[in-house]
Amino acid sequence: MDVLTITMNPALDREIIIPHFELNTLHRVFEREKLISDPGGKGINVSMMLSELSKTPSIAMGFLGGYTGRIISEELRKRYPNVTLNFIHIEGESRENISILDEINHYITEINAPGPVVQEPDLLHFMKLFNTVASRTKITVISGSVPVGVPLDTYSILTEKAKESGNKVYLEARGQLLTNTIKKCCPEVVRPDMRSTNKIMGKEVESLNEYLEAGKEIISYGAELVVISYKFKHDLIFTTDGAWILTVKEGELDESHLLGTGDAYVAAMIHDYLTTDHSLLERAKFGMAAALAKTFYLKKEMPSLSDIEKNLENIKIEKLD
Amino acid sequence: MKVGDIMIRDISAIFEDETVERFIRLCANHIRTGMPVVDEEMRILGYISENDVVNAVIPSYFGMLQSASFIPDTNQLKKKLYLIKDEPISKYMAKSVISVKENDTLLHASDLLIRHKFFSLCVVDEEERLTGLVNRSRILLGVLKELEEADEQTED
Taken in order A119, A122, A126, A128, is the CA torsion positive or negative? positive
**Every domain of chain A and the residues it spans:** 3-319
Does the beta-carbon distance from A88 to B12 stay under 8 Å? yes
Does the beta-carbon distance from B18 to A73 stay under 8 Å? no
Question: Regarding the domain delimited by A3-319, which CATH topology (the fold level of the hierarchy) does it fall under?
Answer: UDP-N-acetylmuramoyl-L-alanine:D-glutamate ligase (3.40.1190)
Does the beta-carbon distance from A77 to B25 stay under 8 Å? no
Q: Which residues of B touch A65 (CB under 8 A)?
A: 29
Residue A280 has pLDDT above 70, yes or no: yes
Q: Which residues of A touch B31 (CB under 8 A)?
A: 70
Residue A296 has pLDDT above 90, yes or no: no
Residue B68 has pLDDT above 90, yes or no: no
How much is the average pLDDT of B34-45? 94
Does the beta-carbon distance from A89 to B26 stay under 8 Å? yes
Q: What is the pLDDT of residues B116-133, one digit of tens each?
A: 888 889 999 999 999 999
Instruction: Give the pLDDT of residue A151.
Output: 95
pTM value is 0.89
Q: How many of the other CB atoms lie within 10 Å of CB of B87?
A: 13
How much is the average pLDDT of A255-273? 87
**Every domain of chain B and the residues it spans:** 3-155
Cα atoms in the 13 Å half-sphere on the side-chain side of A115: 27
Report B:21-80 residues touching A (Cβ under 8 A): 22, 25-26, 29-31, 38, 40-42
**How distant is the Cα of B38 from the closest Cα of chain A, in angstroms?**
10
- 10 Å CB burial of residue A166 (0-12, 13-18, 19+) is exposed
Sequential DSSP letters for A211-263: HHHHHHHHHHTT-SEEEEEETTTEEEEEETTEEEEEEE-SS---GGG-TTHHH
Instruction: Give the pLDDT of residue B61.
Output: 73
Selected residue of B3, B5, B7, B11 to mutate for chain A interface (largest A Cβ count, 10 A): B11
Nearest to B9 among A85, A121, A128 (CB): A85
CATH entry, B3-155, from 3.90.1580.10, 3.90.1640.10, 3.10.580.10, 3.40.50.300: 3.10.580.10
With cut-offs at 50, 70 and 90, classify the pLDDT of residue A228: very high
Nearest to A132 among B22, B26, B40 (CB): B40
**How distant is the Cα of A147 from the closest Cα of chain B, in angstroms?**
17
Nearest to B29 among A81, A91, A132 (CB): A91
